[in-house]
């Protein structure tokens, strides 16, 4: 009877929101450390329960990820977006603001879902994208369907900045800046997007085996993620045999560091090439943007969210800060009325916009994509006005 009484007492003391506590702890750990690095024991410890108690709610870590994704993205299955542009943006802001790590989960963790779950999530994301089109046509009746498609993806990128863990700007600055960026993007002047290119035919590898490996690793890490990419994947893409691969890089972590270092050097060389002209800042900024956009399909991925693998994260964060500082300096010299934190946030939104749009092959392989992307970036930096001709 005493044992039965103790069991009853434990059940009575168990919080009714235990499942929600587990979901929140799992979400936070997935975002902080990445799904592959998180264990069920870590989640149980964060919640303050035993592993056995955790398994009563979720059979394994994959089930837990599925539940986290469903909780955060379930609303995409039935999006209700007003047909007026301003109302649509406010409705989207209100919806996204409820989920503080939505962007990080989408960028880094959904790739670990089962194939069926990932396909369902992508269908939902596409449904939300389509639901934005009437509001975009309301604001920009002058654009064709392909231009509106590009604009829709750009707006979603800006909206995602409400929930990016890598952006540390206070909400009092971030929210009005995102609103302004949304309005600015809606005003951008676009050229016809042109025909689609051939992604498979656009890559020519250098003769050097080491260079081939760096290029292949950059593309594979960007597409699959560090943990899901194997050395065999990189070797196959580069056309390099296993023994030759390890003759250049000791490990995948060693290759990741080399990719980040090469990308950082490429960006700085591009920046230096523009600055050396000695022209005034308002003329330099569009050229820096154009240089960056030209590198963005490959090496500018080094400005993506840092991975914690192999200690590369600290190096990458420092490189990001230094490079972003250069953009901020050019922007504030062009628009001295800008408050420094607002200027920095505009630069971050613009750089994230570039990375996000390159991740959408159906728009990033269009003939005029880079020209339109430069216009979008300049519009975000100058808040829709005062932007020099790019």
What pLDDT is recorded for position 2? 47
What pLDDT is recorded for position 13? 46
At 229, is the pLDDT very low, low, confident or very high (cuts 50, 70, 90)? confident
Domain ranges (residues) in the chain: 17-71, 75-185, 199-381
The tens digit of pLDDT for each residue in 24-79 reads: 999 999 999 889 889 999 999 999 998 888 998 999 999 999 999 999 999 887 77
Mean per-residue pLDDT, 5-27: 69
What pLDDT is recorded for position 199? 57
Same CATH topology for 17-71 and 199-381: the answer is: no
At 225, is the pLDDT very low, low, confident or very high (cuts 50, 70, 90)? confident
347: pLDDT strictly greater than 90 = yes
Q: Which fold has domain 199-381?
A: Tetracycline Repressor; domain 2 (1.10.357)
Is the Cβ–Cβ distance between 84 and 63 less than 8 Å?
no
Mean pLDDT of the chain: 86
pTM of structure: 0.86
Q: What is the CATH number of domain 17-71?
A: 1.10.10.60
**Least reliable range by pLDDT among 12-16, 83-87, 176-180, 341-345:** 12-16
Mean per-residue pLDDT, 182-187: 95
Mean per-residue pLDDT, 298-316: 57
What pLDDT is recorded for position 313? 61
What pLDDT is recorded for position 244? 76
**Least reliable range by pLDDT among 87-101, 124-138, 241-255, 358-372:** 241-255
What pLDDT is recorded for position 383? 86
At 308, is the pLDDT very low, low, confident or very high (cuts 50, 70, 90)? very low
How many whole angstroms separate alpha carbon 341 and alpha carbon 326?
14
285: pLDDT strictly greater than 90 = yes
For tokens 């230096």, name the residue. Answer: 272
The tens digit of pLDDT for each residue in 197-212 reads: 765 555 677 888 888 8
């Amino acid at each position: 009877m005493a044992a039965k009484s103790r069991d009853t007492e434990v059940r009575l003391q168990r919080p009714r929101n235990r499942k929600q506590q587990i979901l929140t702890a799992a979400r936070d750990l997935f975002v902080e450390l990445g799904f592959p690095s998180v264990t069920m024991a870590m989640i149980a410890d964060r919640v303050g329960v035993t592993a056995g108690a955790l398994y009563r709610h979720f059979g394994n870590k994959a089930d837990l990820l599925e539940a986290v994704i469903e909780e955060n993205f379930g609303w995409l299955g039935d999006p209700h977006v007003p047909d007026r542009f301003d109302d649509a943006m406010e409705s989207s802001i209100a919806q996204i603001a409820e989920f503080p790590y939505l962007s990080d989960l989408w960028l880094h963790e959904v790739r670990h879902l089962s194939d069926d779950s990932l396909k369902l999530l992508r269908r939902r994301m596409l449904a939300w994208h389509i639901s934005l089109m009437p509001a975009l046509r309301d604001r920009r009746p002058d654009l064709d369907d392909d231009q509106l498609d590009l604009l829709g993806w750009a707006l979603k990128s800006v909206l995602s900045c409400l929930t990016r863990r890598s952006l540390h700007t206070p909400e009092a600055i971030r929210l009005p800046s995102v609103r302004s960026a949304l309005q600015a993007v809606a005003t951008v002047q676009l050229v016809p997007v042109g025909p689609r290119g051939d992604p498979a035919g656009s890559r020519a590898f250098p003769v050097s085996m080491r260079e081939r490996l760096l290029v292949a690793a950059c593309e594979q890490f960007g597409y699959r993620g560090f943990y899901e990419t194997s050395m065999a994947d990189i070797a196959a893409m580069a056309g390099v045999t296993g023994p030759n691969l390890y003759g250049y890089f000791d490990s995948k972590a060693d290759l990741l560091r080399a990719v980040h270092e090469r990308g950082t050097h490429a960006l700085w060389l591009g920046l230096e090439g523009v600055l050396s002209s000695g022209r005034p800042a308002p003329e330099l900024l569009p050229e820096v943007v154009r240089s960056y956009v030209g590198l963005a399909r490959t090496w500018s991925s080094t400005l993506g969210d840092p991975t914690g693998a192999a200690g590369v994260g600290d190096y990458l964060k420092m490189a990001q800060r230094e490079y972003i500082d250069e953009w901020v300096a050019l922007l504030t010299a062009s628009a001295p009325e800008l408050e420094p934190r607002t200027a920095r946030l505009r630069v971050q939104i613009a750089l994230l916009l570039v990375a996000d749009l390159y991740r959408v092959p159906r728009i990033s392989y269009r003939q005029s994509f880079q020209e339109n992307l430069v216009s979008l970036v300049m519009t975000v930096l100058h808040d829709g006005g005062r932007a020099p001709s790019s």
